Structure 1
């Protein structure tokens, strides 16, 4: 094989050297770009847990003690026909049937039965009682508005609080025809089922829950 003169090998070595230098330069640029992006991705908003971006995925530990629909909390706009809402679905079947019959008749008069509260879990009832004590300043005063979990007809599913004045006005006039009666004078929204009212009318109302013998248990 013929020997290649040194002068003929020089261009090849220069080309390789330039190639290496070029590759090093490209790597340097890539490193610089990546180094610039890392601090940006570690901004306060990006460093938050994935749970923080989606309230529906908040860890249970952050909701410890919180109550929701499963405990009887009622979202806005719920009617007596909303079976997907536990506060409605867990009402006593006879009470719910009477409410829906009355609501169907009331609809002919342009009145809709919205539910402010229905069935409640004992935990929800106790929370409402604590809030009432804080609001009214004493357990005695709070008892005029909120019963204990052991005595509340809401916990047993035997009471419903109807929203909007036109609905309570309609029930005040026609509720007895369906066995639906206002029980306390200070709570025009609170209704329970009294089947004998269909023939004899609703019983005399208590001034407030403290006068109700059921609350003395």
Structure 2
């Protein structure tokens, strides 16, 4: 049997040790590089507008955000969607609703005041439904421009109420603003003497929404 000389054995052990050390160094470099990439990716994702919008309101919006339970009327102060409306708008609506009741008409509220988070969710849903931001803008404004967020608009439920308002709303300063939204009413006090202004085709034609 041939024996390996002691010097050769020592050299082989040194070579193996150097190879192991070199391998560990390479693995350490690769691990550090991957860690940096993941950190940069995470940081970039965290500040992206999409993630910012998603993180604004992680929970499902509720009554505190302006969601309206079924069957609520303009007299239901217990819900923020009504309680947070502009006082003059609310007063005009209640005056109109009181008179409409004599004709057997009740003013149900589909939507009133909304929180910015709720408005942004509705906008995201509209983009998903209509397929683009441009088309969604014909139906839902941003939180920065929506009159619902400022408490200056009411979406009236049921067709008999909107028909009544279409005929009598100007007497109370209540006007339909958008031709494509017969349920959306805002306060225009000049309408009491001059009738309601000409309607916009949809929100994209409203200078307030274009800001």
Give the TM-score of the pair, scaled to structure 1: 0.71
Aligned position for 2:73: 79
- Alpha-carbon distance, 1:163 to partner: 0.3
Q: Which residue does the alignment assign to 2:95?
A: 101
Residue 139 of structure 2 is aligned to residue 125 of structure 1: no
Shift of 1:64: 4.2
For residues 17-39 of structure 1, give each alpha carbon's deviation from its aligned partner in whole angstroms, at most 9, with x where no partner exists: xxxxxxxxxxxxxxxxxxxxxxx
Number of positions where the alignment pairs a residue of Structure 1 with one of Structure 2? 155
1:182 correspondence with 2:176: yes
State the 1:65 CA deviation: 1.9
Are 1:207 and 2:187 counterparts?
no
Unaligned runs of 5+ in 2: 1-56
Residues 1-217 of structure 1 correspond to what in structure 2 (within 5 A)? 64-217=58-211
Spell out, residue by residue over 1:154-176, the C-alpha distance to the aligned partner (whole angstroms, 9 max, x if none).
00000000000000000000000
The C-alpha deviation readout for 1:46-93, integer Å capped at 9, x for no partner, is xxxxxxxxxxxxxxxxx9421100000000000000000100000000
Greater Cα radius of gyration, structure 1 or 2: 1
Root mean square deviation of aligned Cα: 0.9
Which runs of 5 or more structure 1 residues have no equivalent in the other structure? 1-62
Q: Distance in 2 between matches of 1:180 and 1:64?
A: 35
Distance, in Å, in 2 between the alignment partners of 1:215 and 1:116 is 21
Return structure 1 stretches of 4+ with deviation > 3 angstroms.
none
Paired with 1:88 and 1:71, the residues of 2 have a C-alpha distance of 11
